[in-house]
Amino acid sequence: MSVFCEVDSSSFTNMSIRNQNTSEILSIGTFTNTLNFTEKSARCFHTALYICTAENRIGFAASDPIQIYVNCGPRSLDGLYFLRIPASFHDKLEMSANFLSYPTPSFQWGFRQKSTSPELTLSSDFIRTSTIINISSFSVHLKKTVLEEDQFGYYTVRVTNDYGSFMTTFHIIPQGNSDSQQNVCKSSSTELSALIPILASVSTVMFIFCAGLIIFIILRRRFIKKGKHFRNMP
């Protein structure tokens, strides 16, 4: 996110870009007519009023403040996208997931008995709630007092706003099943070269951790150095 300031002046000016909310001076230019500031770590729902000031030997001027918001599509606060939960007949069922999103998203739950089954709408005896953590963070919950035999399967919550969507799946399986060990899958992006130096030519990797199972999904993108430029090779 960048803020640019330009002054029409007959002589060179001293310029600054300031965060009006905090009075922090973000960028200063001396004897210039243009100035810019780049925010390199804007968070979801980053908001600020920016103002540009300029002064030369003749006088002083300030721009109107510019209000900037940073919107973001939904994502998991903790990287969770799959959770396997063992349960018994007539157990109380409870599931929760936390999301980051701005503007406020919508939440939709669905159910499949098998991964290939058609998705069904949950019946009214499931209690669906959401909690606002702060203006850009939310927690969603699904509860049922008694779990019936035909309610084992895949429960999916889709979080959607105008900028994207994210899905988290809960796999409810019978207690004592050979796969009944709780299985958590999370994801995050990282630089592969920091993990495996010998593969440093690969630019980016998606790292997936799944309760004892580690998978590297490598985005095969190599860069060949040529003079002062880089050429992207398939």
Which pLDDT score is estimated for 200? 32
Mean pLDDT of all residues in 134-145:
94
Q: What is the pLDDT of residues 164-201, one digit of tens each?
A: 999 999 999 998 765 656 678 886 543 333 333 333 33
Beta strand spans in 56-196 (E): 60-62, 66-69, 72-76, 80-87, 93-102, 106-112, 127-134, 137-144, 153-161, 164-174, 183-190
More confident residue, 208 or 121: 121
Instruction: List, edge to edge, every strand of the sheet that includes 137-144.
Output: 72-76, 93-102, 137-144, 127-134
Question: Mean pLDDT in the chain?
Answer: 79
Please give the single-letter amino acid code of residue 36: N
| pTM check: above 0.85 | no
- For 14-49, what is each residue's pLDDT tens digit? 999 998 888 899 999 988 889 998 888 888 888 888
Is residue 35 within 8 Å of 29, Cβ to Cβ? yes
